[in-house]
Amino acid sequence: MSFDYKVADLGLAEAGRHQIRLAEHEMPGLMSIREEFAESQPLKGAKIAGSLHMTVQTAVLIETLTALGAQVRWASCNIYSTQDEAAAAIVVGPNGTPQDPQGVPVFAWKGETLEEYWDCTHEILTWADTGDGIDGPNMILDDGGDATMLVHNGRTWEQAGQVPPTTEDDPEEFTVVKALVRRTLEQDPQKWAAVAERIKGVTEETTTGVHRLYQLAEAGELLFPAINVNDAVTKSKFDNKYGTRHSVLDGLNRATDVLVGGKVAVVAGYGDVGKGVSAALAGQGARVIVTEVDPICALQAAMDGYQVTTMDQAAAYGDIFVTTTGCFDVITADHMAAMKNKAIVSNIGHFDNEIDMAGLARTPGITKTEIKPQVHEWTFANGSSIIVLSEGRLMNLGNATGHPSFVMSNSFANQTIAQIELFAKAEEYVDEDGNPSVTTLPKHLDEKVARLHLDALGVELTELTKDQAEYLGVDVAGPYKPEHYRY
């Protein structure tokens, strides 16, 4: 079998395969979904373009999708988050060799340039005809919305009958996307209409991507239906919270190995991720300060025992900074100039604009020294310096390997169920006017995902009696909570 792919080194496949094998043991949700649907093959005919951190856990997701009948092409959704051994193992496949790869086309390696990143995203949207007359994906599995936005951006330019100009004054990343759209439209003026038309729908992994989808739907510009995987309870209340509670320390430790106990840690944002990050740092004995814009989350932070103040106030006191907001310019160049010597500055939110890296680079007299990959010391003209992790991109995936398998089993079980659901019934996912909608998975599926993970932790669940269920007004088998319940 021959197919195109682009990864760092297929020689890493064996190491990747060992890690995948261990991860499978820690991902009971995905493995039981594989078993449940092995025969019925609900994803037969699905051609999934996946844009999600190419880690060991994602490898188990990819092989679950293919076990259910899907064809897949994969890219990472961040330039630093790929685990090269996982990417290699997926290309080689369980039965192939580095000389005769038999797995799945992956376009991802750790340390891509932005141009390479967008080329990889374009690769997953561009398939050769695989014998069924269809030369493109019919599903997207997205994390952060870059693949979805590329289709929408391309379609917008194409509909306007234009190719994007190559302007100098746009932010760097936007120019890269525009250059890519320009190139594709010059080659094929109908490219994006064809891509968009084939896509039945997208399942979106994270808060930031979901936010983009709702904006598109509100503007009436969403081209295909979407399932919001992030807001499954078994995703955002687990991955975003307990996942970051683990991986934020992993990122800090691998990057700097600084002792967290006793330090002042400043956490920007107290949503699901902020709660996990604050708990982790406090658990290590840090004195945690939270910044928030939402009075409810600010009050929660205060009642959880954290000091709540503004970044303007906290900048000069923190030893460790972590942004978790999904917003931009949360830590400005002025904040960084006011920080203590050797303060550690990092972001765990989806995009790199939470910390004003461009502003930092423009600071007069500043110099940048690489301590090691993804760890840089920025020294100000007065000799004081700060340590920035992963160039301001998400540090738990840039400096470490992201969330551990068990929590990702919850997230990815939701992803798989959402792909099955949307692939089978995309036409039902529309609003009252028949326009593509953004929807969360029904609660009984959320409860199913949780149920799949109980045995592995030795949890013994109490069962309602029929009378008790009647008294509470629920079914013995669930769902147990009304839609508005917040957990």
Which residues contact ligand NAI (rule: CB under 6 A)? Answer: 206-208, 236, 239-240, 243-244, 268-274, 291-294, 297, 324-327, 330, 348-350, 394, 396, 402-403
Nearer to ligand NAI among residue 305 and residue 473 (C-beta): 305
Nearer to ligand NAI among residue 293 and residue 459 (C-beta): 293
Phi, psi angles (nearest 5°) of residue 417? -60, -40
- Residue 484 CB contacts under 8 Å (≥ 6 apart), including other chains: none
Nearer to ligand NAI among residue 269 and residue 404 (C-beta): 269
What's the min distance (Å) between Cβ of 305 and ligand NAI? 17
What's the min distance (Å) between Cβ of 134 and ligand NAI? 31
Nearer to ligand NAI among residue 321 and residue 423 (C-beta): 321
Nearer to ligand NAI among residue 396 and residue 405 (C-beta): 396
What's the min distance (Å) between Cβ of 300 and ligand NAI? 9
Nearer to ligand NAI among residue 123 and residue 292 (C-beta): 292
- The whole-angstrom separation of Cα 99 and Cα 109 is 19
Amino acid occupying residue 217: A
Find, among 420, 419, 474, the residue nearest to 447 by Cα. 474
CB 71 within 8 A of CB 48: yes
What's the min distance (Å) between Cβ of 179 and ligand NAI? 25
The region that residue 458 occupies, defined by phi over 0 for left and psi between -120 and 50 for alpha, beta otherwise, is: left
270 is in an annotated binding site: yes
**DSSP codes of every residue in 414-433:** HHHHHHHHHHHHGGG-B-TT
| Cα 473 to the center of its chain, rounded Å | 37
- The whole-angstrom separation of Cα 269 and Cα 295 is 11
Helices and strands in the chain: count of H runs, count of E runs = 20, 15
261 is in an annotated binding site: no
Which stretches does DSSP call E strand in 34-150? Answer: 47-51, 71-75, 106-107, 139-142
Nearer to ligand NAI among residue 66 and residue 244 (C-beta): 244
DSSP letter for 441, please: P
239 is in an annotated binding site: yes
β pairing state of 139-142 and 201-204 = parallel
78 is in an annotated binding site: no
What's the min distance (Å) between Cβ of 31 and ligand NAI? 22
Nearer to ligand NAI among residue 222 and residue 322 (C-beta): 322
206 is in an annotated binding site: yes
237 is in an annotated binding site: no
In the complex, which residue's CB is closest to ligand NAI? 271
Nearer to ligand NAI among residue 244 and residue 278 (C-beta): 244
CB 163 within 8 A of CB 186: yes
403 is in an annotated binding site: yes
96 is in an annotated binding site: no
Nearer to ligand NAI among residue 43 and residue 320 (C-beta): 320
Complete edge-to-edge strand list for the sheet that includes strand 343-347: 307-308, 287-291, 264-268, 320-323, 343-347, 385-389, 375-379, 367-372
240 is in an annotated binding site: yes
Find, among 32, 144, 8, 141, the residue nearest to 86 by Cα. 8
208 is in an annotated binding site: yes
CB 207 within 8 A of CB 276: no
Nearer to ligand NAI among residue 303 and residue 461 (C-beta): 303
What's the min distance (Å) between Cβ of 42 and ligand NAI? 27
DSSP letter for 394, please: B
DSSP letter for 243, please: I
What's the min distance (Å) between Cβ of 173 and ligand NAI? 15
Phi, psi angles (nearest 5°) of residue 155? -65, -40
Find, among 45, 82, 66, the residue nearest to 401 by Cα. 82
- Residue 348 CB contacts under 8 Å (≥ 6 apart), including other chains: 244, 247, 248, 251, 273, 277, 322, 323, 324, 394, 395, 396
348 is in an annotated binding site: yes
- The whole-angstrom separation of Cα 415 and Cα 210 is 13
271 is in an annotated binding site: yes
349 is in an annotated binding site: yes
117 is in an annotated binding site: no
Helix axes 272-283 and 244-255, enclosed angle (nearest 10): 60
In the annotated binding site, the residues are: 55, 143, 205-208, 235, 239-240, 269-276, 292, 348-350, 396, 403
In the annotated binding site for substrate, the residues are: 55, 143, 205, 235, 239
In the annotated binding site for NAD(+), the residues are: 206-208, 240, 269-276, 292, 348-350, 396, 403
